[in-house]
Amino acid sequence: MSSQVRLKLLPRARCLFDEPVQVKVAGLRSRQVVTVRARATDERGVEFRSSATYRADGSGEIHLDRDPSLSGSYVGVEPMGLLWSLKADTLHKYFYKNKALHPHVVKFSVHEEEEKEEEGRMLAEVTNERFLIGEGVSRVPVKEGNVQGVLFTPPGEGPFPAVLDLCTFMSEKRACLLANKGFVVLALAVYTDKPDNVQPMHLDHFKEAVDFLQQQTKVGSKGVGIVSRSKGGDIALSLAAFVPGVEAVVWINGCSAIVGAPLYYKNRQILSPLPFDFDKVIRTESGASIIKYGLEDPKAKENKGTVVPVEQAKGRFLFVASGDDLNWDSKGYMEEMVERLKRHGKRNFESVYYPRAGHLLEPPYGPFCPSALHGLIRFPVLWGGDPQVHVAAEVDLWKKIQEFLRNNLSCDDTQTKAKL
C-alpha cells in the first residue's frame, strides 16, 4: 500500500446501518485514475463486491459525494454507490443481514488503475462497521404463548410508542433500526415454519403480539403501530380491520387481499386466500421469473371473500407502492384500497408511489437486490426496480415511515406510570 494515499470515511468509520458516510481519497497524483472497491460478506458466507473508477482532481483528491464514477458498478455521482451496488458473483443472491448484534462490515479500498482483468495494486484500505443496534438499545428474544420474536427497547424511561414489525421471514434489521429512533419494536415473522408446512393462519396469534406490546412498561402510545411489506401487508391490514388497538399501519408493496392461506379469527375463517395461477408466471433468460401476474384480481366478484375490509379500521394507513414491483401489482392493490376507503367516506390514509422502484423496499444503504430465491415458491424471482431510483426511494421512505409513526402514535406519561 502507498503510505501517502489516504482513504477516509466521514464523519467516522463506525456508524449505524442507516447512516450515510462520505468516502474521500487524498494523496493521489493530480488527475490520477484509480478504482475504489468495496466488499462485504453476508450472514450466509456469501461475498458481495462493488467497484467504481474515478479520476482525482488537480489536488489529487476524490470525493464520492462530488465526483462522478466513470465506469464500474455504477456511473455518475453516487455518494453511497459502493454500498448499494454490492453484489455476489452468482446471480439471484440476496444479502442476508438480519441479525442485530453483528455489524455490517464493509472493506473499502483504493487501487491503481486496473490493466486487463487484473486488480490494480492496493494503495489504501479502511473498514466501515455499520451497526444495526444502537448504544443502549436492549434486545430480548420473546417466546410467550404464540408470540415468537425479538423485542427491541430504546434506552431511557420512555414513554415510547410501540411498533410491531411484521416480516415475511424473520429479520431483526428494520425493527432494531426503528428502536434506535425511539420506538419499542417487536420483530415478528409471518412464517416461522418451513414454507412447505404452511397451515391456515390465525389472526389471534398476531393479536397476542399486539397485546404483548401494549403491556410493556416503557410503552406509552395508546395503540400499536405496524410496519409491513409483502405478505406481512395483508396480515397488517387484517389486524387494523379486526383487532382493536392498531392505530397506524405502514403497508409496503403488499396485497389488498389475503394471499397464500386462509385467515382464521376466533375459531372461524374470516377470509379466503386469493388464488394464484402458476401458468401466468413469466420465465426470463436470467433464470428468474416474473410472478406479478400470477395472482388473480381481488376486484373480481368471485374473489370478494379474499379482500381485507380496510374500511372497518379505526387507525390510519400509510400505503406505499412501487411502480416496477415485479412480485405483484402493489400499485393496483393500493389504488383499490384508496378507492374503497373514499367510497366509505374515509380519509384515514396517506399514499406514496415510487414509479421506478421495485418490490424490496428496505432500510437504506443495503445492497440493491434485483432478483433472488423466493422464500415461499422456492424458485428465483425478479423483484424489479431501477437501482439508482430504488435506493433513493429507500432513503425517502425511511424518513416517511418514522414521521408517520411518530405523528400517529402519541405517548401519554400517565399511561406509562399506571403500568409501573
> With 90 as the cut, is the pLDDT of residue 182 above it?
yes
The confidence band for 418, taking pLDDT boundaries of 50, 70 and 90, is very low
84 and 199 both lie in a single domain: no
Q: Cα dist. 167→106, 107, 228, 266, 340 in Å? A: 25, 29, 6, 23, 26
Q: Which domain holds residue 86?
A: 6-131
Could you tell me which residues are beta bridge partners of residue 109? 37, 125
SS3 string, 255-285, reads CCECECCCEEECCEEEECCECECHHHCEECC
> With 50 as the cut, is the pLDDT of residue 416 above it?
no
pTM score, two decimals? Answer: 0.95
Angle at 248 between CA 398 and CA 351, to 5 degrees: 60
Which residues fall within 8 angstroms of residue 218, CB to CB, at 6 or more apart? 153, 154, 157, 158, 159, 160, 184, 416
The confidence band for 192, taking pLDDT boundaries of 50, 70 and 90, is confident
Q: What percent of the chain has pLDDT over 70?
A: 95
For 22-37, how does the pLDDT look when each residue is reduced to its tens digit (9 = 90+)? 999 999 999 999 999 9
> With 50 as the cut, is the pLDDT of residue 354 above it?
yes
Element (H, E) at 211: helix 203-214
111 and 238 both lie in a single domain: no
Residue type, 392: A
Q: How many domains does the chain have?
A: 2
The confidence band for 234, taking pLDDT boundaries of 50, 70 and 90, is very high
Q: Is 230 a catalytic residue?
A: yes
163 and 113 both lie in a single domain: no
Alpha carbon distance 352, 355 (integer Å):
10
> With 80 as the cut, is the pLDDT of residue 3 above it?
no
Q: Which residue has the cell 431501477?
A: 386
Q: What pLDDT score was predicted for residue 115? A: 66
Higher pLDDT, 114 or 5: 5
Q: What percent of the chain has pLDDT over 90?
A: 91
What value does the mean pLDDT take over residues 244-255?
97
- 407 within a domain of the structure (yes/no): yes
Of 63, 92, 111, 359, the catalytic one is 359
- 220 within a domain of the structure (yes/no): yes
Q: Which of 131, 153, 188 is the last residue of a domain?
A: 131
Alpha carbon distance 257, 265 (integer Å):
16
- Return the C-alpha cell found at 412: 401519554
Q: What pLDDT score was predicted for residue 417? A: 38
- Return the C-alpha cell found at 208: 397476542
> With 60 as the cut, is the pLDDT of residue 12 above it?
yes
The confidence band for 2, taking pLDDT boundaries of 50, 70 and 90, is low
260 and 333 both lie in a single domain: yes
Alpha carbon distance 308, 321 (integer Å):
17
Q: What pLDDT score was predicted for residue 113? A: 85
> With 60 as the cut, is the pLDDT of residue 363 above it?
yes
Q: Which of 22, 31, 21 is nearest to 54 (CA)?
A: 31
113 and 170 both lie in a single domain: no
Q: What is the CATH number of the domain that holds 387?
A: 3.40.50.1820
The confidence band for 407, taking pLDDT boundaries of 50, 70 and 90, is very high
> With 50 as the cut, is the pLDDT of residue 68 above it?
yes
For 105-137, how does the pLDDT look when each residue is reduced to its tens digit (9 = 90+)? 999 999 998 766 677 899 999 999 999 999 999
> With 80 as the cut, is the pLDDT of residue 220 above it?
yes
Of 230, 238, 289, 371, the catalytic one is 230
283 and 164 both lie in a single domain: yes
11 and 79 both lie in a single domain: yes
96 and 148 both lie in a single domain: no
Q: Which of 131, 156, 173 is the last residue of a domain?
A: 131
Q: What pLDDT score was predicted for residue 412? A: 62
Q: What pLDDT score was predicted for residue 199? A: 82
Q: Which of 97, 131, 165 is the last residue of a domain?
A: 131
- 34 within a domain of the structure (yes/no): yes
Q: What's the DSSP call for residue 325?
A: -
Q: Is 65 a catalytic residue?
A: no
Q: Which of 316, 344, 320, 324 is nearest to 333 (CA)?
A: 320
What value does the mean pLDDT take over residues 285-296?
97
Cα-only R_g, the chain:
23
89 and 177 both lie in a single domain: no
Q: Is 50 a catalytic residue?
A: no
123 and 167 both lie in a single domain: no
36 and 161 both lie in a single domain: no
Q: What's the DSSP call for residue 340?
A: H
CA 327 to chain CA mean position, Å:
15
Q: What pLDDT score was predicted for residue 222? A: 83
Least confident of 95-104, 114-123, 363-372: 114-123
What value does the mean pLDDT take over residues 339-347?
97
Q: What pLDDT score was predicted for residue 195? A: 61
Q: Which of 135, 136, 172 is nearest to 151 (CA)?
A: 172
Alpha carbon distance 372, 379 (integer Å):
8
- 1 within a domain of the structure (yes/no): no
Of 324, 325, 329, 386, the catalytic one is 325
Q: What is the CATH number of the domain that holds 16?
A: 2.60.40.2240
Strand ranges for 83-218 from DSSP E: 87-88, 104-112, 122-131, 138-144, 147-153, 160-167, 184-189, 201-202
278 and 389 both lie in a single domain: yes
> With 60 as the cut, is the pLDDT of residue 49 above it?
yes
8 Å CB contact between 148 and 139: no
- 205 within a domain of the structure (yes/no): yes
